[in-house]
Structure 1
Amino acid sequence: MIYSRCAACKSQRRRCPPDCIFSPYFPPNDPQRFSSVHRIYGGSNVGKMLQQLPHYVRHQAANSMYLEAQCRVQDPVYGCVGIISKLSQQIQDTEVELAKIKTQIAYHKLHNQQFDS
């Protein structure tokens, strides 16, 4: 059987054991995925975090770590919080705009009712 090392084991230049904690979440064909996570969290810490989690949430945790690491690489100061803040501001701006439009609609309805009477 030909067995390819996962991205984590390739990156750390070691053999990939059959029970490697990284292999299901960091495939050999996507080395950038592990590289980003390793740069932000450290490979050892990622392994420890994954081992402490139940099997059924590990994939989701690995995806989350990857996305958060990508955000941190792109925005070293704010990371994910920067994206969340921008989206929150967009929501607030949209709610203000919606309130203005509702006020305009109510005004025009009232204005039309006065002409109909």
Structure 2
Amino acid sequence: MSNSTGCAACKYLRRRCAKDCALAPYFSTSHPERFAPARIIFGATDVSRMLQNLAVEQLNQRANAIASEAYRRVRDPVYAVQSNLAETQAQVALHSVQQQQHQQENQVQLENHQYNLDNTQQFGLDQGPSSFQSPPNFP
């Protein structure tokens, strides 16, 4: 990828970006904010090493993981990824509770509907206006 600007890593290291630069497809100069946290946390050389000797299918996933973990570590140095996991677990628990509440509400509505149907059948109210008998005519 030998273009005039190179990748974010080569630009940071102030070197010419080689054609076979491992970082160029994943850390372009158009998004330096993606590489900056990875450089701060892991260092440019180690990021390059982490992407070496991987299958082509895994490179994009690994680069995304490196950038994501580094961003979280910069944002929250103490808990980093664990804070994100705790937040996700809390959201899952909240959605689970909401789903249970909806299921209970639906069950109550179904039971009420069945109760109303049983009452209308028991008292003969389900026959409609055609079964209504008019009162006898008085003179």
- Place the TM-score, normalised by the shorter chain, in its bin: 0.7 to 0.9
Matched with 2:50 is 49
* In 2, Cα distance between equivalents of 1:34 and 1:60: 15
Q: 1:12 to 1:111 in 2, by over 3 A?
A: same
Q: 1:105 to 1:18 in 2, by over 3 A?
A: closer
Q: 1:108 to 1:4 in 2, by over 3 A?
A: closer
* In 2, Cα distance between equivalents of 1:24 and 1:2: 12
Percent of residue pairs identical: 32
Q: 1:27 to 1:114 in 2, by over 3 A?
A: closer
Q: Which has the higher helix share?
A: 1
Structure 1 residue 101 corresponds to structure 2 residue 102 = yes
1:9-37 Cα shifts (integer Å, max 9, x gaps): 12122232332222222222322222111
Trace 1:6-21 onto structure 2 (pairs within 5 A).
6-21=7-22
Matched with 2:25 is 24
* In 2, Cα distance between equivalents of 1:114 and 1:63: 56
- The Cα shift of 1:106 comes to 1.7
Superposition TM-score, scaled by structure 2 size: 0.70
Whose Rg is larger? Answer: 2
Matched with 1:116 is 117
Matched with 2:136 is none
* In 2, Cα distance between equivalents of 1:28 and 1:101: 48
* In 1, Cα distance between equivalents of 2:98 and 2:30: 46
- The Cα shift of 1:39 comes to 0.9
Q: Which runs of 5+ in 1 are unaligned?
A: none
Q: 1:9 to 1:92 in 2, by over 3 A?
A: same
- The Cα shift of 1:81 comes to 2.6
* In 2, Cα distance between equivalents of 1:47 and 1:7: 12
For these two proteins, the number of residue pairs brought into alignment is 117
- Let me know the Cα RMSD of the aligned residues: 2.2
After the TM superposition, list the runs of 4 or more consecutive aligned residues in structure 1 that deviate by more than 4 angstroms.
none
